[in-house]
Amino acid sequence: MAGPVPQTDRVPVGVDPTRASIARVYDAFLNGKDNYEIDREVLRGVQRAAPEAQELATENRGFLIRVCRFIATQTGVHQYLDCGSGLPTAENVHQAVQRVDPDSRVVYVDNDPVVLAHGRALLEENENTHFVSADIFKPKEILENEIVRKHIDFTEPLAFFQLGTLHHYEGPNEEPAQIMREYIDALPSGSYVAISHFLDPENEHSSIARKMEDVFRHSPMGSGTFRTKAEIEALFDGLEMIDPGVTLCADWWQDGPRLKPLNQVQYCIAGGVGRKP
Ligand code: SAM
């Protein structure tokens, strides 16, 4: 029997529900509601390769929240430029940092129309949070963007985030490092850069990483490159790494003792934080 159309299946203007999007697939991985069948199909495909696939997203999000707390409590930085915000989820950057430091300013950047349609209102919930619709792989455009310039003071240290984004860049392998170099060059001394990225752990879990990569890249979403630790470290060129450097997201200052062994997917996502000298 046909019932009311579920909220998730109402399609905002300008959104193509027959093509998967990175933001919606990520939302599906996090058990969110802003995704369509085509996005869930990508999730199921990756789960066939690795049943614990959703851990890619949960580990990434756990890392994001711990990084936010670290920066808000330890560094004296009060402004955040978050590239590739994603759809609003349970705890977003501004909520994590403004809980510690209510005056901290957050500018989110994303280019997904569903993030715009559903997310903007939720992410811009106070006068210190702002949203920019732009392409994060074009540093010049982001750095010269009017809203970014209005709310981020480039004469003061800032926190710059590329969390779960650079592995979706589809182009020559060396280009994400060039993109990061342009951003890092523009940051004032004392700024912090956080990156998380799909990892090929180059050990017994390498084959599962490459299987997931194959599914992502050949899925209706079409992107998801797993890089080695050395390749991810190259994205932080010119920065002093905060202890413990680039490591598994699961190992980056976890909240408490670990009682369970990591599963194979938890070995396939890494992150780190660097400081510009
Ligand atoms: N940063 C969030 C996190 O770590 O939880 C969300 C990560 S989500 C996997 C990646 C986000 O980057 C998506 O919302 C997607 O729309 C956005 N994105 C991907 N390519 C982009 C581009 N070229 N310009 C702007 N945003 C982009």
Look up tokens 């060039």; give the residue: 178
Task: Report the predicted TM-score, pTM, of the whole model to 2 decimal places.
Answer: 0.95
**What's the maximum distance between 2 C-alpha atoms anywhere in the chain?**
63
- What sign has the CA pseudo-torsion 13, 17, 20, 25? positive
How far, in Å, CA of 77 to CA of 104, rounded? 8
Q: How far is the CA of 82 from the centre of ligand 1 (A)?
A: 9
The burial of 150, by beta-carbon neighbours within 10 Å (0-12 exposed, 13-18 middle, 19 or more buried), is given as exposed
Average pLDDT taken over every residue of the chain: 94
- Which of 168, 175, 179, 212 to probe ligand 1 with, by most ligand atoms within 8 A of CB? 168
Rounded to 5 degrees, φ, ψ at 208 are: -70, -35
User: Which tens digits make up the pLDDT trace of 51-86?
Assistant: 999 999 999 999 999 999 999 999 999 999 999 999
Residue 223, both tokens: 């992107």
What ranges do the domains of the chain cover? 55-275
Q: Which CATH architecture has domain 55-275?
A: 3-Layer(aba) Sandwich (3.40)
Q: How far is the CA of 102 from the centre of ligand 1 (A)?
A: 25
Atom of ligand 1 nearest to the CA of 86: 14
Atom of ligand 1 nearest to the CA of 84: 12
Strands 192-198 and 79-83: unpaired
Q: In this predicted structure, what is the pLDDT of residue 210? A: 98
Q: How is 90-142 classified by DSSP, letter by letter?
A: SS-HHHHHHHH-TT-EEEEEE--HHIIIIIHHHH--STTEEEEES-TT-HHHH
How far, in Å, CA of 140 to CA of 128, rounded? 23
Q: How far is the CA of 269 from the centre of ligand 1 (A)?
A: 16
How far, in Å, CA of 226 to CA of 210, rounded? 7
Distance separating the N- and C-terminal Cα atoms of the chain: 63
* Mean pLDDT in residue range 137-164: 98
- Which of 16, 22, 92, 131 to probe ligand 1 with, by most ligand atoms within 8 A of CB? 22
Q: Count of alpha carbons within 13 Å of 262, Cβ hemisphere only?
A: 15
Q: Which residues pair with 162 in a beta bridge?
A: 83, 195
Q: Which residues pair with 270 in a beta bridge?
A: 197, 248
| Of the listed ranges 86-95, 194-203, 208-217, the one predicted with least confidence | 86-95
Q: How far is the CA of 89 from the centre of ligand 1 (A)?
A: 13
* Mean pLDDT in residue range 77-105: 95
Higher pLDDT, 8 or 209: 209
Q: Which residues pair with 105 in a beta bridge?
A: 79
Cβ < 6 A, ligand 1 pocket: 22-23, 26, 60-61, 64, 84-86, 109-112, 115, 135-137, 163-165, 168
- Which of 39, 42, 67, 85 to probe ligand 1 with, by most ligand atoms within 8 A of CB? 85
Q: How far is the CA of 101 from the centre of ligand 1 (A)?
A: 25
| Of the listed ranges 108-117, 174-183, 197-206, 232-241, the one predicted with least confidence | 108-117
Q: How far is the CA of 12 from the centre of ligand 1 (A)?
A: 19
Residue type for position 257: P
